[in-house]
């Protein structure tokens, strides 16, 4: 490692930009009811504001990881900050739900440019002895963002309006740009060819899959247009994604997904686990926010404060777990974290009752904080530990992509699941929705069935996070690294 590189100032500079895009993945959830009221939109439309961001973000991560290797991760990181910050202004100035969704797509492009670079730079500038601690801090930022996003969103929506959840990115983006320019080093680049067919196939397949899953309930899982059914769209998405994987396997030039990386057992398992984690994180907050704001009548700030114990615990515990993975097999921390996460979500389903005490809702949040501290950093370290340095960008791009694919599918699936459970629990729900959604606490006669629908929806992330716990048990103890 170049002795002139100062890894710790570089890490803190990278975390500002990385933390900002993580916050933006969650900050919108808290503002959903306010955005629904402002644009007179339904649940499905407002969840597209999140899904559109996650979709464009996920689709481009494979490409931008490679671009970072080719042109330098610092250049891609700075460019991503510029695009993300400019798109944030556009989001705040949107005059329709459609315009907001398009602006979120552009915001996702900026996020995709900078996200894999942060992980790749950390892998390349820290010596092996310090890498676990650095990745622990990097991982902790993801857990903290889950609190800061909703909490900042709540305060901004309550005081200034929903637009300010986007405008607040402007000063943060400018500060992040200045610090990254100053402290993030220029690293050696590596020649790469670009698999444009792979980009088109992965983008098309993901879009068809997400559109079919999220809009399925809207069309009653029947015909969309011109005889094309929802299931045909989902089937086409799966077929195109299979085509993408086949192309990656047989592409003799340089595929977006180097299958050789998956010969490392831990890299393969970590990617499976993080995709499930992405699904869980993007889907679990939405029913919680709708329950607290619509059933209990909480303000955005009050509903966000429920996640406070999680952040209080995840911040100090994450670096501790990061240091311990050099001594012990990290699979025990990761699997324990996933199973604890499942327990915390199950406890939430028991608390979804009209008139529930605010204090009771803090208990599962605390359990979740311990769980996440054991997951993010250790899993990220295991995923990238044995990768050659010249493939750090590709490896972190794949890892972040699988997380985001899980997130975008989770966001789409929870939208359909919530709508389906509301329709089942409340006869004539769609007619009532326009009257009651986002307008404070629900009338007594539909508060309990609405709460039941939200609790039932949480079972999807419970199953996913428990499955991640099982998968992570198959990881092996990483070999010592000396590069």
Give the pLDDT of the chain (483 residues) as one tens digit per residue. 455 678 889 889 999 988 888 888 778 888 888 898 899 988 888 888 988 888 888 888 778 877 887 888 899 999 999 999 999 999 999 999 999 999 999 999 999 898 888 877 887 888 877 877 787 787 777 667 766 788 888 899 999 999 999 999 999 999 999 999 999 888 877 776 778 898 889 889 988 998 898 888 878 888 988 889 999 999 999 999 999 999 998 888 778 888 888 988 999 999 999 999 999 988 998 899 889 988 998 988 898 888 889 878 887 887 788 778 767 888 899 999 999 999 999 999 999 999 999 999 999 999 999 998 899 878 888 887 777 766 766 677 788 778 888 988 998 899 889 989 998 998 876 655 544 444 456 777 889 999 999 999 999 999 999 999 999 999 987 766 554
Closest to 132 (Cα-Cα) out of 278, 328, 271: 328
How many CB atoms sit inside 10 A of residue 53's CB? Answer: 29
Between CA 374 and CA 222 the distance in angstroms is 42
Q: Is 407 left (phi over 0), alpha (psi -120 to 50) or beta?
A: alpha
Within the chain, what is the greatest distance between any pair of CA atoms?
A: 68
Those residues with Cβ within 8 angstroms of residue 177's Cβ, 6 or more apart along the chain or in another chain: 17, 78, 81, 82, 85
Q: What global pTM score does this model have?
A: 0.81
Determine contact, residues 4/187, Cβ cutoff 8 Å.
no
């Amino acid at each position: 490692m170049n002795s002139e590189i100062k890894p710790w100032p570089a890490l803190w500079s990278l975390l500002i930009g990385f933390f900002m895009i993580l916050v933006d993945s969650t900050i919108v959830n808290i503002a959903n009811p306010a955005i629904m009221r402002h644009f007179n939109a339904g649940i499905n439309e407002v969840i597209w504001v999140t899904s559109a961001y996650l979709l464009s973000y996920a689709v481009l991560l494979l490409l931008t990881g490679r671009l970072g290797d080719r042109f330098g991760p610092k250049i891609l990181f700075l460019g991503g900050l510029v695009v993300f910050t400019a798109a944030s202004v556009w989001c705040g100035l949107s005059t329709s739900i459609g315009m907001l969704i398009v602006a979120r797509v552009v915001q996702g492009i900026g996020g995709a440019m900078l996200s894999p670079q942060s992980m790749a730079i950390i892998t390349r500038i820290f010596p092996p002895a310090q890498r676990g601690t650095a990745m622990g801090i990097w991982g902790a930022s993801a857990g903290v963002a889950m609190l800061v996003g909703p909490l900042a969103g709540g305060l901004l929506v309550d005081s200034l309006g929903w637009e300010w959840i986007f405008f607040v990115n402007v000063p943060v983006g400018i500060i992040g740009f200045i610090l990254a320019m100053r402290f993030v080093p220029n690293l050696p680049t590596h020649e790469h060819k670009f698999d444009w067919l792979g980009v088109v196939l992965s983008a098309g397949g993901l879009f068809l899959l997400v559109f079919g899953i999220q809009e399925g309930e809207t069309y009653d899982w029947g015909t969309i247009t011109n005889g094309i059914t929802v299931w045909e769209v989902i089937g086409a998405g799966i077929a195109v994604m299979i085509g993408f994987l086949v192309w990656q396997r047989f592409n003799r030039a340089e595929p977006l997904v180097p299958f050789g990386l998956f010969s490392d057992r831990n890299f393969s398992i970590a990617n499976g686990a993080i995709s499930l984690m992405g699904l869980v994180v993007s889907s679990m907050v939405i029913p919680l926010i709708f329950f607290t704001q619509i059933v209990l009548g909480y303000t955005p700030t009050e509903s966000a404060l429920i996640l406070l114990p999680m952040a209080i615990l995840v911040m100090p515990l994450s670096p501790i777990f990061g240091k311990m993975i050099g001594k012990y097999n990290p699979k025990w921390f990761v699997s324990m974290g996933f199973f604890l996460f499942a327990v915390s979500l199950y406890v939430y389903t028991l608390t979804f009752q009209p008139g529930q005490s605010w204090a009771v809702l803090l208990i599962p949040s605390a359990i979740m904080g311990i769980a996440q501290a054991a997951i993010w950093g250790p899993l990220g370290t295991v995923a990238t530990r044995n990768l050659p340095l010249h493939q750090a960008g590709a490896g972190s791009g794949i890892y972040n992509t699988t997380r985001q694919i899980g997130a975008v599918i989770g966001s789409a699936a929870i939208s359909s699941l919530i709508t389906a459970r509301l329709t089942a629990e409340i006869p004539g729900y769609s007619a009532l929705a326009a009257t009651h959604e986002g307008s404070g606490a629900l009338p007594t006669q539909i508060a309990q069935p609405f709460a039941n629908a939200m609790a039932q929806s949480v079972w999807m992330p419970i199953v996913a996070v428990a499955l991640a716990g099982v998968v992570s048990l198959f990881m092996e103890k990483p070999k010592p690294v000396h590069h």
